[in-house]
Amino acid sequence: MSVPAAPGDATRAAAERLLRRCDELAAVSASPDGIERVHLSAEHARVNAVAAGWLREAGLATWQDAAGNQWGRLEGAEPGLPALVLGSHLDTVPDAGRYDGILGVVTAIEVAARLAPHRAQLPFAVEVVAFGDEEGTRFGTALLGSRAVAGTWLDGWWDVADAAGTTLREASTAFGLDPAAIADAARRPEDLVGYLELHIEQGPHLEAAGRALGVVTSIAGARRFAGRVVGEARHAGGTPYAKRRDALVGAGQVVVALERLAVETGGIATVGRLQAHPGGVNVVPGLVEFSLDVRAEHDATRDDLVARIEAYARETCAARGLGFELQETHRAPGVYCDAGLTESVVAGIAATGDDDPVQLFSRAGHDAMAVAAITPVAMLFVRCEDGISHHPAEAVTLDDVGLGLDALEAAVRDLARRRSAAR
């Protein structure tokens, strides 16, 4: 095994540009105190326009699709060939870092720019996509952009509302999209060669292994829920304990139990949002609304964990005279990366000097898992400092970004060689 020392000077210069571009996109935020860019917002429109400018500069034809995803296309040896798609997402969680999704998009654009002078040798077109919603921050339903592209859009989503009560249908229309045209965003499998996504790892494994890059074997499928614990709001002082039906105490008990249930089952469960109502300092909480995110390497493990959480919560709440409700808002099946496409990712990483790359299962969700419904997918991870993500402290090094860029380009070239040889 040999592990790369550092990328060359030209790559380091390109990596500097990629980091500058991540900084430029980070400045497009709805919040003055941090990064927040949600689906179908004014910020979404602005980053699409910025990305479209970079795509055109790289020599690609551009368009925004019916779901608000930004695309670019570089024709191959002849016009109209099926496309290899490179990309990731430009939306963020609240108070986000600047690389989750974004690094994959800017790197894909740079790879396309590198390939543009050699397009006559490409046995496929190269497309770049910047998906508009991977996180699900605004509507709770994740992967809206990539699921529209995969043709797995569900009509029930149109009436899902954000925190301000704006429905997805209203937000799409205000963004200038036509909800009736959503099917136009779907791509046909026969027009695609595959999908390659570069993403920061969002975990500590590459750092622990001392490697800049890793290859993804599979992606965990998440289920998300909107939960409610229903009790009775009453006077905080006047109500004796025997009469209290405190929804927050019941919800708290469930939240504390999640960790034990998850560890016992081998999955992961998180309550990221929780609100007590009516929210008076001297009122027993009568209602708690919360989010629940559950994932595992295998869907059966995840579903087992959901069942255990639900059983525990119902029993615990019933014993306290509380109601418990759980409504599913998102479900994505776990996905295995394609073996053939993954060979090209391994070859791409090997071209940077690491000929036995670390293989990882992704605990984070990615657009690749939606796109897998229509075309083979593979993923390349870039080490991030301390494994931290979904936090402003997200950090990558210049050298790692350069190695990721070289590896993604080499993966595309490897795939091109294989396909040309097979013709």
DSSP assignment letter at 264: H
For position 140 contacting ligand GLV by CB under 6 A, the verdict is: no
Bond from prior residue into 278 cis (ω within 30 degrees of 0): yes
Binding-residue pattern over the window 222 to 261 for ligand GLV, x denoting contact by CB under 6 A: x---------------------------------------
- Which lies closer to ligand GLV via its Cβ, residue 221 or residue 231? 221
For position 364 contacting ligand GLV by CB under 6 A, the verdict is: yes
Alpha carbon 60 to its chain's center = 24
Q: By Cβ distance, which residue is nearest to Mn ion?
A: 101
Cα–Cα dist 391/99, whole Å: 10
| Residue 197 touches which of Mn ion, ligand GLV, none (Cβ within 5-8 Å per kind) | none
Q: Residue 361 — φ and ψ, nearest 5°?
A: -95, 140
Side chain identity at 398, as an amino acid letter? L
Cα–Cα dist 167/160, whole Å: 5
- Which lies closer to ligand GLV via its Cβ, residue 114 or residue 295? 295
| 3-state SS class at 173 | helix
- Which lies closer to Mn ion via its Cβ, residue 100 or residue 110? 100
For position 365 contacting ligand GLV by CB under 6 A, the verdict is: yes
For position 135 contacting ligand GLV by CB under 6 A, the verdict is: yes
- Which lies closer to Mn ion via its Cβ, residue 75 or residue 134? 134
Residue that is written with structure tokens 């571009």 in the block? 21
Query: Any idea what the Cα angle at residue 11 is, between residues 8 and 13, rounded to 5°?
Result: 110
Q: By Cβ distance, which residue is nearest to ligand GLV?
A: 365
Residues 63-102 within binding reach of Mn ion (CB under 5 A): 100-101
For position 127 contacting Mn ion by CB under 5 A, the verdict is: no
DSSP assignment letter at 35: B
Q: Minimum distance between the CB of residue 135 and ligand GLV, rounded to whole angstroms? A: 6
- Which lies closer to ligand GLV via its Cβ, residue 11 or residue 329? 329
How many alpha carbons fall within 13 Å on the CB side of residue 326? 20
For position 267 contacting ligand GLV by CB under 6 A, the verdict is: no
Bond from prior residue into 179 cis (ω within 30 degrees of 0): no
Q: Which residues bind Mn ion (CB under 5 A)?
A: 100-101
